């Protein structure tokens, strides 16, 4: 099964990003990818409600296939673009976005009408399962860092809250 990867970015991308995506897709069972036609690398996702989202899954109304958009350009302010250029970190960030959106595709194919509040926990669980499959060899290398995980998670949440606060304030000012 071949998934077409399209570049729609104005800014430079890591030179091997298509190969990275193909490698990450190998961890996904092929039957989960049935009907996924295209992965688009974009500056910003086309969702008007969430323009700063790092990824987006959508279905074309006139087609039975799905499309994933990944914001690796100047969009997705929550993820510094420079991180996509760092080998392991970039691969992991890309995997988190990709597997989340593949989870939406797979969940949509199986259930069709699940409400968003029920779908997101299922998709997050799917993402974690695929991350474990894709990065299983790194678990031994990264195991000594496991005690730092709660600290890193808290720092990430604090940065996310701070970013949301800045976004709200900028909307009020405008």
pLDDT given for residue 23 in this prediction? 92
Question: Three-state secondary structure along the chain?
Answer: CCCEEEEECCCCCCCCHHHHHHHHHCCCCHHHCCCEEEEEEECCCCCCCCCCCCEEEEECCCCCCEEEEEECCCCCCCCCHHHHHCHHHHHHHHHHHHHHHHHHHHHHHHHCCCCHHHHHHHHHHHHHHHHHHHCCCHHHHHHHHHHHHHHHHHHHHHHHHHHHHHHHHHHHHC
Query: Rounded to 5 degrees, what angle do the CA atoms 56, 60, 64 make?
Result: 115
Per-residue pLDDT in tens (0 to 9) along the chain, 174 residues: 689 999 998 877 777 888 989 999 999 999 999 989 999 999 888 888 887 888 999 887 667 788 999 987 654 455 566 666 666 777 888 899 999 999 999 888 776 566 667 788 889 999 999 998 988 876 666 556 556 566 655 665 665 666 556 544 444 444
Question: Any idea where the domains of the chain sit in the sequence?
Answer: 4-136
The CATH code belonging to domain 4-136 is 3.40.390
* Closest C-alpha to 52, from 91, 81, 25: 81
pLDDT given for residue 75 in this prediction? 46
């Amino acid at each position: 099964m071949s998934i077409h990867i399209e570049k729609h970015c104005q800014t430079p991308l890591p030179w091997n990003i298509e190969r990275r995506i193909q490698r990450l897709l190998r961890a996904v069972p092929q039957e989960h990818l049935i009907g996924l036609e295209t992965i688009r690398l974009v500056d910003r996702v086309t969702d008007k409600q969430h323009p700063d989202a790092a990824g987006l899954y959508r279905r074309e109304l006139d087609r039975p296939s799905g499309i994933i958009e990944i914001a690796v350009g100047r969009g997705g302010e929550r993820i510094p673009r420079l991180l996509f250029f760092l080998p392991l970190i970039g691969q992991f960030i890309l995997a988190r976005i990709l597997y989340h959106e593949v989870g939406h595709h797979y969940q949509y194919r199986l259930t069709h009408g699940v409400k968003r509040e029920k779908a997101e926990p299922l998709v997050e669980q799917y993402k974690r399962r695929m991350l474990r499959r894709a990065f299983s060899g790194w678990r031994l290398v990264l195991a000594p860092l496991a005690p730092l995980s709660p600290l890193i998670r808290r720092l990430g949440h604090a940065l996310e809250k701070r970013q949301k606060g800045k976004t709200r304030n900028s909307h009020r000012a405008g």
